[in-house]
């Protein structure tokens, strides 16, 4: 089953228009709502899902300061009894230590089997709160209220939840699908510019891996998107969620197709790692990774040069990095790190490569020397 339906959904009184995308996973199916002012309607949606009265909102300091009160009030107004858990902002909070703190607070607030958790924040909060929900009392329901562009188009959909270990990112986790995802476009207004542009790297990815029309629309509408025009954003966020829903609906646990979502991520993750986490935002690192993957695709799958150029240009227009200057030692380190990535199977690095914009292939073997060459392009081949 796939999540094909994109309907101009029910129109709740609190929003001008709401796109509804459904993730079709049998009994675990759920809706993603995309629109402005949706937080206000959170209590109503949770009541519709017949979730238990007691709940906890998990958020971070940045997001909590701005949106916790509205979220709390929306739930309380419909008879829910929320407690608020605020974790420090940033990747460091995605740890077992924070998970432990959350468990203690849930116990103090007497959450029970029918209770639920609201993840209010970016991907860090979504992954952390989702993991807490997956494990506390052997699994509680949870609702995602993503507040970064990256979280709205990617991390809040699909049920991958987890935390980091010292040894690496996302090493402990689970598949635990939310009961509802509410993408409130108004929340994006306060997102720092650099975070917003980094989120656009995932948006562009959907165009490359799945939808040439979306890619062309991004080329056309980028100025509107950079202005965070609500109308342009609504359609684009909905289309990205629709693509993710369709992919996850076909391959929930990443045994095949879901791998296409990793386009640009093999090199991107290694870039994040060797630069020291924090230098590049995830979206910036995967912009570099996607341009490198496009160049590899040209050599190995015949991706037309004009498509490679369009890909590099769109990332550049978005203000994202497309190349990385590395000396030979750092290049070797990057290759070594790539081989340690948890997605490597049998010691071989597998790439997602593109035949053309809108069509990719996963599981491609790429010789290390070619990766190294691509990361060290001669000035004449730089776009």
Ligand X SMILES: NC(=O)c1ccc[n+]([C@@H]2O[C@H](COP(=O)([O-])OP(=O)(O)OC[C@H]3O[C@@H](n4cnc5c(N)ncnc54)[C@H](O)[C@@H]3O)[C@@H](O)[C@H]2O)c1
State the residues that interact with ligand X by CB under 6 A: 60, 62-63, 66, 89-91, 94, 121-125, 127, 147-148, 150-151, 154-155, 158, 160, 169-170, 187, 190-191, 195, 282
DSSP 321: -
Give yes or no: 239 in active site: no
219 is catalytic: no
Smallest separation (angstroms) from ligand X to the CB of 318:
15
Q: What residues form DSSP beta bridges with 86? A: 59
Give the orientation angle of helix 230-250 with respect to helix 212-226, to 10 degrees: 140
| Closer residue to ligand X (CB): 154 or 252 | 154
| Residue 272 to residue 269: CA distance in whole angstroms | 5
Cβ nearer to ligand X, comparing 44 with 66: 66
**Cβ-based nearer residue to ligand X, 67 or 80:** 67
What is the rounded distance in angstroms from the CA atom of residue 223 to the CA atom of residue 79?
42
Selecting among 262, 284, 295, 350, the annotated active-site residue is 262
CB of 273 to ligand X, least distance (A): 13
Whether 307 is catalytic: no
**Within a 10 A sphere around the Cβ of 363, how many other Cβ atoms?**
13
User: Shortest gap between Cβ of 107 and ligand X (angstroms)?
Assistant: 25
Q: Which two tokens stand for residue 324?
A: 């990385």
Residue 262 DSSP class: G
CA distances 338 to 121, 239, 365, Å, are 29, 31, 13
Catalytic residue among 19, 282, 295, 307: 282
From the list 19, 94, 160, 176, the catalytic residue is 160
Residue in 91, 195, 219, 254 annotated catalytic = 254
**For ligand X, the closer CB: 63 or 241:** 63
Among residues 358, 315, 285, 305, the alpha carbon closest in space to that of 219 is found at: 315
Considering the complex, what minimum distance in angstroms separates the CB of residue 18 from ligand X?
19
44 is catalytic: no
Q: Any catalytic annotation for residue 11?
A: no
Is 135 in a helix, a strand, or coil?
Answer: helix
The encoded tokens of residue 349 equal: 């690095």
Measured distance CA(166)–CA(220) in Å, rounded: 42
Assess whether 202 carries a catalytic annotation. yes
Residue nearer to ligand X on the CB measure, 267 or 308:
267
Residue 193 beta carbon to ligand X: minimum distance, rounded to whole angstroms: 11
Query: Which residue in 313, 340, 333, 326 sits closest to 375, CA to CA?
Result: 326
For the bound state, the minimum distance from the C-beta of residue 187 to ligand X, rounded and expressed in Å, comes to 4
Nearer to ligand X, 147 or 297 (CB): 147
- Catalytic site residue 176? no
269, 307, 310, 350: the catalytic one is 269
Catalytic: 160? yes
CA dihedral 48, 184, 171, 55 (to 10 degrees): -40
3-class secondary structure, 351: strand
Catalytic residue among 244, 295, 307, 350: 244
Alpha-carbon span 26 to 69, nearest angstrom:
34
Which sequence positions are flagged as catalytic? 138, 160, 202, 244, 254, 258, 262, 265, 269, 282
């Amino acid at each position: 089953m796939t999540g094909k339906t994109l309907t101009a959904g029910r129109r709740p009184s609190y929003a001008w228009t709401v796109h509804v995308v459904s993730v079709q996973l049998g009994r675990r199916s759920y809706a993603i709502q995309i629109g402005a002012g949706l937080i206000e309607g959170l209590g109503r949606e949770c009541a519709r899902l017949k979730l238990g009265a007691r709940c906890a909102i998990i958020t971070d300091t940045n997001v909590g300061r701005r949106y916790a009160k509205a979220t709390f009030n929306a739930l309380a107004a419909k008879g829910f009894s929320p407690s608020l858990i605020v974790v420090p902002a940033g990747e460091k909070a995605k740890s077992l230590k924070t998970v432990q703190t959350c468990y203690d607070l849930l116990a103090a607030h007497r959450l029970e089997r029918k209770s639920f958790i609201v993840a209010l924040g970016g991907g860090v909060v979504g992954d952390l709160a989702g993991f807490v929900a997956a494990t506390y009392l052997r699994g509680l329901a949870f609702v995602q209220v993503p507040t970064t562009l990256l979280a709205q188009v990617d991390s809040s959909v699909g049920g991958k939840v987890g935390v980091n270990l010292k040894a690496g990112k996302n090493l402990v986790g689970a598949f635990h699908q939310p009961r509802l995802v509410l993408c409130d476009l108004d929340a994006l207004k306060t997102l720092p510019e650099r975070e917003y542009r980094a989120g656009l790297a995932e948006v562009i990815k959907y165009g490359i891996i799945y939808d040439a029309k979306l890619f062309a629309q991004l080329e056309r509408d980028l100025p509107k998107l950079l202005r965070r025009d609500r109308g342009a954003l609504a359609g684009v966020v909905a289309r990205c969620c629709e693509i993710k829903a369709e992919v996850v609906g076909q391959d929930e646990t990443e045994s095949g197709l879901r791998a296409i979502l990793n386009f640009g991520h093999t090199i991107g993750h290694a870039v994040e790692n060797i630069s020291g986490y924090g230098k590049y935002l995830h979206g910036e690192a995967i912009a570099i990774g996607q341009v490198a993957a496009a160049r590899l695709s040209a050599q190995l799958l015949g991706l037309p040069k004009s498509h490679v150029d369009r890909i590099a240009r769109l990332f550049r227009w978005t203000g994202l990095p497309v190349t990385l200057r590395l000396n030979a030692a750092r290049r070797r380190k990057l290759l070594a790190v790539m081989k340690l990535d948890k997605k490597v199977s049998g010691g071989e690095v597998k790439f997602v490569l593109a035949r053309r914009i809108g069509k990719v292939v996963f599981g491609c073997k790429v010789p290390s020397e070619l990766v190294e060459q691509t990361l060290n392009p001669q000035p004449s081949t730089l776009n």
